[in-house]
Amino acid sequence: MSGEKVAQPAYFHLHLVSDATGETLINVGRAACAQYSNVLPIEHVYPLVRSMTQLERVLIEIEGNPGIVLYTLVDKEIRERLKQRCRELGVPFLSVLAPVVQLFQAYLGGEPQPRIGGQHALDATYFKRIDALNFTVMHDDGHLTEDLEQADVVLIGVSRTSKTPTSIYLANRGVKTANIPLVPNVPLPANIEKLKKPLVVGLVASPDRIVEIRQNRLLGLNAANPSASYVDREAVSEELAYSRRLCARHGWPQIDVTRRSIEETAAAIIGHLSERRRRSIVET
């Protein structure tokens, strides 16, 4: 209806206080905010808060911009000071890990041993992630295809199906990922159809979505005289049809990324990878 006002998003201050990197708080806070379509947070992130002096600076910010306070603080004295001041200011506060740790304690028994930034320890898992990132960066966009057998996952797909960002996200989960572009009239690496260890996954999308992304890409690059077929819907449809036929011929799973976020695409790939590994264990 003309003249009808569209509701504007409401804003609120979200204070995230951590004695480590603050990544856990950021993820939890954003996941909670995503449940409210018309509410947006103004994030105040305070990492590495490990002294009373640092905390006092944070409390000044909270007092000046009252809102929700989420925290992960190991030091009891710092934690109690934050809680006390939040009560005085009348602002809501919550330790995001406390309920989870209490649940673990009730089930496992014993006393937890809090460690600042414990999830970021330089252990085997951490170095596995770094190794995966190095591998993935070196094998981006069809590079170094001769050693694809070392990958955990190989992504294939036409241009602008989010192969690179998905690869990087998977690498951050410790999954060595290579990606190969499907380019018209350019043959695939000869060894890709003979791979044994890696899971090969095809990424596809709707022709309209691919054309839209490619057009925006060209505008961003100020590309002059681009190939007409690059943004032609019929040509793009044929590219995608070839991709689907290729995957069907080899039994490679396909994931439609048209309406998926990078995180959702990566989760689906990890699901395929886990199922493949489970079947392998059962068969042996």
Binding site annotation covers 163?
A: yes
On the 0-12 / 13-18 / 19+ scale of CB atoms within 10 A, 71 is buried
Tell me the C-alpha distance between 157 and 218, whole Å: 19
Binding site annotation covers 157?
A: yes
Pairing, β 153-157 against β 67-72: unpaired
Q: By C-alpha distance, which of 61, 60, 100, 55 is closest to 78? A: 55
Binding site annotation covers 158?
A: yes
Binding site annotation covers 284?
A: no
Binding site annotation covers 258?
A: no
Give backbone dihedrals phi and psi of 142, rounded to 5 degrees, phi first. Answer: 85, 10
Tell me the C-alpha distance between 114 and 132, whole Å: 29
Sign of CA dihedral 142, 148, 151, 154: positive
Binding site annotation covers 164?
A: yes
* Residues tagged in the binding site annotation for ADP: 157-164
Binding site, annotated residues: 157-164
